[in-house]
Amino acid sequence: APGRPGAHGTLITVAPTGAEHAKADVPTLPVTLDELVRTARDCEHVGAAMIHVHVRDDQARPTLDLGRLRETVAALRSETNLVVQLSTGGAVTDPEADRLRVLDALPDSASCTMGTVNFGDDVFLNRWEFIVELHRRMRERGIVPEYEIFDLGQLAALRRLLDEHGLPAGGHVHVDLVMGVPGGMPGDAETLVAALRLLPEGATFSATGVGRATLPVLFASLAAGGHLRVGMEDTLSYARGERVRDNAQLVARAAGLARVAQRPPLTPDEVREILGVRL
């Protein structure tokens, strides 16, 4: 693990919003552009290097509106130095055409989920042809993918994608293990180690645990030389019986633990170099 690119430090990605939580239930969720930019600045200040972005409309509902995505990318670029990653996952009901159009907003990076998975009571559909099209368009536009892995079979799909369609933009493979989604792989150290055995050679990985998998996955990833994703998309509870105050609280905790592990937070520019994001 210490031999992985960037393993001297820790990439901390913040996923501040997601598509699943309602603003009415979670008033501190950043949903407006203003709230998002403020969150991004606060999170950068305490150690985040990348932001995984879902946007909301004026009613705080998830949207893939291209104008809003473009405006968001521009604002995050001008107000922070964070690597800006847009979600192409959207919400479980979003049509493929809308999800592909996200790439027209030209972010630094975008997510690319490597297969279909049960997602709570819903199905998060990712057909093979759709995955290939995401990969192809990202390479065409110079957008660096982050391959989202919800289950172990999706790592076999990633190998197939790279074998059949070649390396992504930037020439480097970066994976995010999303663990503990009901319907996906469990969020524990044993499963994380099993996933690592299936990673393509030379790939870097981050991991995030959803809900109560948050801390086990965070510790397991740090111990294995991996990077971290944290944020209110994945976790609303800070400790037993204690709600998350804001995203920066989660980033600050991750940064502190990364320092304890002697793998301090990487800067956005270090992350650009590791992931092959154009400057």
CB of 13 to Zn ion, least distance (A): 10
Q: How far is CA 198 from CA 157, 162, 221, 277, in A?
A: 10, 13, 15, 24
Nearer to ligand KMH, 115 or 225 (CB): 115
Toward ligand KMH, which CB reaches closer, 7 or 92? 92
Q: Are 179 and 144 in contact (CB under 8 A)?
A: no
Distance CA 203, CA 201 (A): 6
In whole angstroms, how close is the CB of 3 to ligand KMH at the nearest point? 28
CB of 10 to ligand KMH, least distance (A): 21
Smallest gap, in angstroms, from Cβ of residue 88 to ligand KMH?
A: 6
- Residue 87 in the binding site for Zn ion (CB under 5 A): yes
What crossing angle do the helices spanning 189-197 and 214-223 adopt, rounded to 10°? Answer: 50
Q: How far apart are CA 115 and CA 151, in angstroms?
A: 8
> Of ligand KMH, Zn ion, none, which one sits near residue 113, judging by CB under 5 to 8 A according to partner kind?
ligand KMH
Given the complex with ligand KMH, which of 139 and 259 has the nearer CB atom?
139
| Alpha helices, DSSP H, located in the chain | 33-45, 66-79, 96-101, 128-141, 153-165, 189-197, 214-223, 247-260, 268-275
Residues lying near ligand KMH in the complex (CB under 6 A) are found at: 18-19, 87-89, 91-92, 111, 113, 119, 124, 148
Q: Does 247 bind Zn ion (CB under 5 A)?
A: no
83 burial via Cβ count (<10 Å: 0-12, 13-18, 19+): buried
The sign one gets for the Cα dihedral 89, 219, 47, 262 is negative
Comparing every residue's Cβ against ligand KMH, the nearest one is 89
| C-alpha 3 chain-centroid distance | 22
User: Which stretch, 85-93, 112-120, 197-205, 268-276, contacts Zn ion (CB under 5 A)?
Assistant: 85-93
Nearest residue (CB) to ligand KMH, 119 versus 256: 119
Nearest CB to ligand KMH, comparing residues 115 and 226: 115
With binding defined as CB under 5 A, does residue 72 bind Zn ion? no
Stretch that binds Zn ion, among 22-30, 81-89, 158-166, 202-210 (CB under 5 A): 81-89
Report how far residue 236's alpha carbon sits from residue 241's, in angstroms, rounded to the nearest whole number.
11
Q: Which tokens go with 66?
A: 């291209």
Q: Of these partners, Zn ion, ligand KMH, none, which one is at the site of residue 206 (CB under 5 to 8 Å by kind)? A: none
Q: Any idea what DSSP says for residue 16?
A: -
Q: Residue 89 or 276: which CB sits closer to Zn ion?
A: 89
Which residues form the interface with Zn ion (CB under 5 A)? 87
